[in-house]
Structure 1
């Protein structure tokens, strides 16, 4: 039974430690505990949250040791426990770690204390870290890779009594990106829509998934890459109707083509998808999509496209030409060149 299932069964631990860079899981843990550990009337009296970059931990411990008011338990969330992280940094606040250690050894039976540590690694050499990991229900909130995200999406849909096949999951990831908060919201929306079926298919995902500006531009670039001129112009005009600034659109288009160029060049040098993602500091799924697009171009093609986009950027900033027309000319030049 995992930590989420235990909470849903109201099998609470007096101490929770959630650490890692994926803050969605921290938010999810907090929301689950609020939902199952406290009722609505108790929240004002028995829930508190502290930022340990600003507040000494002993104040939070005193709160946890205080008997709950008009309820069975207290919930105390401690954000940014800087004394746990591996990287050294100057702390603004002095913490009484002796008092914290004493509390960890004998936590109040009526309180739930959550340590939310948004750090890649904890300092495992410290006594405080060792004892907390031994005593607390611990969950590593790591960033998910593509395969893990696909599994997570399917499981989240299953929890809503819905099924999603690989095509629907891939479509959702392509349209909504890899942000778990956004994906969770989209899955909830799709599940609510699919009242007469237990299956969420790729077509439903395409129709209902909200697209960010970046994703709309990603779709525009996809149409450009695949030579679909009419669909490219249709997306572009739709973005203009949404009052998106042409100079902003041009910037995002250029960043997409730069990524395709960089990915192609690094792949040519023998780097794998994960290594490329680490070098460019982007999600591996974005690298995968860029690699697929990169196959349609030579390095010389991409260099020319990037040069053309730079000329468009210069024209937008220095000439009297209508900015909307600058991108139209780019699209016409791009498709005209590919038809030669």
Structure 2
């Protein structure tokens, strides 16, 4: 039976533990947290080496885990068995290990009442054509861990910062997600560092995130584009020189700027026609969160201004390809003249 994360956690708080759990999805941190919660409830007397077993599907035959689950616990009411990243529920194969999935199938049909078996699957979807999956959906508690939506990710960040006894501004949350991405494990690591810097009762601001958050090159480029389209030219220029020092190509940066402004233009036009942000995201083929960011970035532009910038970038691209100007000089010139070309006097409420 498919259950939500919240429902299962509420059940665990009441001390109710089911014989078999199948946890799947790409949010590894949330899956790990639920595994820990189930383990603590299954072994209330304390976790020990005799009654808590972990098996990795890529390294150990799944039938060994089944044998452990069928073996009576030692001086305890229950036994806890974890089968990590079990590819038997997907199309993935484990060439190094000889698995007897029939043993797992038989166990799912008749699980031992004295064991709690948790199976994790690091995949967005289960292969519902498989007999194993169909059986698990009938006899086990199946919990999907889908990627958090933008508002859910924001709430998670705020809650995690609060847990670290600090606070964070709205702009700080936006910048952190923009800089680090939505991987919760990376976000938690960065939040711990930022909260330590802010101190107990302190506040994490956008400036603190900019100064301290660790970013990959890809995320640095993403933040650079954000600075450009928000007309923060001084900060954009500094980031540009850092990116060029790290061997990012000027022509690539110009391409990414063009792509972002095109997305902003499409969102501006389509939302003006009455389409929702979700609908526009589907139409232009971008993630809803990326569409939301682009919508915010384009808030102070008119469609005409965005269209004019696209023509300007197309003209620069032509001049670069015909040898009339170097790509680095073109990038610098575009950034330095951007406020004038965008119409710096445009009001924040321009539509």
TM-score, normalized by the shorter chain, greater than 0.5: yes
Q: Distance in 2 between matches of 1:317 and 1:13?
A: 65
2:153 maps to which residue?
Answer: 149
Does the 8 A contact of 2:53 with 2:81 survive in 1?
A: yes
Question: Are 2:21 and 1:16 equivalent residues in the alignment?
Answer: yes
Q: Distance in 2 between matches of 1:63 and 1:26?
A: 19
Question: Are 2:82 and 1:75 equivalent residues in the alignment?
Answer: yes
How large is the RMSD of aligned CA atoms in angstroms?
4.6
Q: Distance in 1 between matches of 2:252 and 2:343?
A: 28
Q: Distance in 1 between matches of 2:139 and 2:169?
A: 39
Note the alpha carbon deviations across 1:75-127, whole angstroms, 9 max, x for none. 322434446xxxxx79999997654332012248567441316235774x987
CA positional deviation for 1:141: 0.7
Unaligned runs of at least 5 residues, structure 1: 84-88
Q: Distance in 2 between matches of 1:8 and 1:220?
A: 45
Choose which of 260, 273, 278 in structure 2 pairs with 1:256. Answer: 260
1:193 maps to which residue?
Answer: 197
1:288 maps to which residue?
Answer: 292
Q: Distance in 1 between matches of 2:105 and 2:23?
A: 18
CA positional deviation for 1:3: 5.6
2:120 maps to which residue?
Answer: 115
Question: Are 2:27 and 1:25 equivalent residues in the alignment?
Answer: no
Residues 227 and 167 (structure 1), Cα distance of their counterparts in 2 relative to 1, 3 Å cut = closer
Q: Distance in 2 between matches of 1:188 and 1:154?
A: 12
1:319 maps to which residue?
Answer: 323
Does the 8 A contact of 2:62 with 2:99 survive in 1?
A: no
Q: Distance in 1 between matches of 2:248 and 2:39?
A: 39
Unaligned runs of at least 5 residues, structure 2: 1-5, 345-351
Note the alpha carbon deviations across 1:194-217, whole angstroms, 9 max, x for none. 4x3234332433432234444444
Q: Distance in 2 between matches of 1:7 and 1:325?
A: 61
Does the 8 A contact of 1:167 with 1:201 survive in 2?
A: no
Q: Distance in 1 between matches of 2:92 and 2:175?
A: 44
Residues 229 and 63 (structure 1), Cα distance of their counterparts in 2 relative to 1, 3 Å cut = closer
Deviating more after overlay: 93-102 vs 201-210:
93-102
Q: Distance in 2 between matches of 1:132 and 1:301?
A: 55
Give the TM-score of the pair, scaled to structure 2: 0.70
Give the TM-score of the pair, scaled to structure 1: 0.72
Aligned residues: 326
Does the 8 A contact of 1:190 with 1:200 survive in 2?
A: no
Residues 164 and 231 (structure 1), Cα distance of their counterparts in 2 relative to 1, 3 Å cut = closer
Q: Distance in 2 between matches of 1:243 and 1:178?
A: 26
1:86 maps to which residue?
Answer: none
Question: Are 2:63 and 1:61 equivalent residues in the alignment?
Answer: yes
CA positional deviation for 1:317: 5.3
